[in-house]
Structure 1
Amino acid sequence: MKVSDFDYALPEELIAQEPVSPRDASRLMVVPRDPAAALAHRAFRELDALLAPGDLLVMNDTRVIPARLTGAKESGGKVEVLLLEPDAPGSARWKAMGQASKPLRPGARIAFQAFSAVLEEVLGGGFYRVRFDREGAALEAAIAREGSLPLPPYIRRAPGPADAERYQTVVARVPGSAAAPTAGLHFTPELLARLAARGVERTCVTLHVGPGTFLPIRSDTVEEHRMHEERYEVPEAAARAFAAARARGGRVVAVGTTSVRTLESAASEDGLRAGPGRTSIFITPGHRFRAVDALVTNLHLPRSTLLMLVCAFAGSERVLGAYRAAVESRYRFFSYGDAMLLV
């Protein structure tokens, strides 16, 4: 498959720069199961009317950390570091992405305002291993103090005070992501309460969003692309909820592509495997879905792995047609944009 097969024309002014308020005021395009049926245009706050009693909503409860750090080399040159994953909980050593005016080399010392790091290893492809001068709670506090929220580059502004709350989902619980699982940003406590009152069950899995989710594809063909690993965990409660939904005939409704990738990575013939894991799953057309029946997702970048996953789920022709309709109807795209419901 050619990467260009997953392209579409998007006017730049449709890339959302700010979130709507309240969260569930965003728009929701409903893509029905029948390809001959018309698309429906709803408000996200109406999601409870579109799901059925007995359905299971699966959300990603990862929490975005202030992963972007700006420091300086001993020469004075500016360095930007995006934290991805510690070697172990509380470790001083982290895998990170780095950017500087000149190539970063092993041994380079990076000074931040009140702490420092040494670049220990060049991993290639813009990835590095860095070791900070502290660990555990002291390092966590230093990152919280000096780090900034890693808004994606197509949001052409610095993060403001409101983003600290709006770039987290209302179920965000487990720190570890370098980007938000954006389909979850539309939910409010009130909408979750209405879903529960309707008989829609809810559970959470955790996938810490990293380069496997947000890095662009550099190759010409889909098959050449390799996904970076990301950490996930399926709690025992989520595995039980999944089994119960299957037993009662309810649909499993994944909120976001990260929930899809977690569920499809942990799915087996016997159900959903509980526990921690790592996944580099790349879901493209031809994938046989074993765990997901419906998908709530944002509108994704052209040529992205996320768009390919949605095309695998609902069919490329139907999804790309829906994207053209979204452009015509002036939907808002990407992280702070509008959403789709696909069955």
Structure 2
Amino acid sequence: MKVLVYSAKDFEIKNLEKLNGNKHKLKFVPDVLNSTTAVMAAGYDAISIFSNDDASLVVLEMLWDLGVKYITLRSTGYNNVSVKSAKRIGFKVAYAPEYSPNAIAEHTIGMLLALNRKLVQADAQVKRYNFTLDNLMGFDLNGKTVGIFGTGRIGSILVKIFHAFGCKVVATDLKRNHYLESHYDLEYLPLEELCRRSDVISINAPLNYETHHIFYEPLFMAMKEGAILINTARGGIVKTEDVIDVLKSGHLGGYATDVYEHERGVFFKDNSKNGINDEVLKELIALPNVLLTPHQAFATKEALFRIAETTIYNLDCWEEGKTCKNELGFEAVTL
């Protein structure tokens, strides 16, 4: 199968080449898939895309006209793909589930500890030989209430980790996990009640019509004063302008995020020379109670290997005419 790999990063190419062997003809390009770059796929049977590539209806129609029949994502989230349109047109689309729930859960914990205990500030301060503690106060996690929005693969791991910290863990999800309830004293609550009770809230749900901007001003005002919000899911779940307002007012204690709702065209690129034009993102980054990482939660050696493994598996299934267990239909997928 002839495959064009969009948004190819240096750190993932080696794994893809190794696991592919000589089975498929892979071509790697750094370009993001959009309505302009879709023409690059002319003559290819399949494409592989990342979370910031645009597989909306217009792009899909262009790809189909160019002869592309298969799309394999190197990500768990697929909100960048018009899945229903793709299936209607005739594409087979597969994703990469379960490649990094531990990696993302661990990054969530790392971000919380770094923000709460002011580790970034402490490091910068010590490098200036300033060893005072005046602005480095945090709080114990032990005994605090932590809210988990979404108890799928990643959220379930976080329930266990926070339970080990001695936290009371509450959650919101459409489907209750009875194992977590019985073994980790997990309590399910409506989202607004979760926000009222939690000292820390972690977002671990997929981005879809129901969750888009579900965290906005009224919900922020329902939170405890000084609470910390962590987002390692998708940027669009949080309304950025509203979170900036509550951070500036001091009502929200801090925001640690690995994602941003308008990250396409900015993230996964070195913008240090020319800067960025997104004034909202600039304002968010400048806030002292914000910790933002560049969508790196998935980026561990183990996770990147599994992504490559799944990508080649998806292509193998299609090449051999086998059923692909990762192929997307219309069902929702829980993170």
TM-score by length of 1: 0.30
More strand by share: 1
Q: Greater helix share, 1 or 2?
A: 2
TM-score, normalising length: structure 2: 0.30
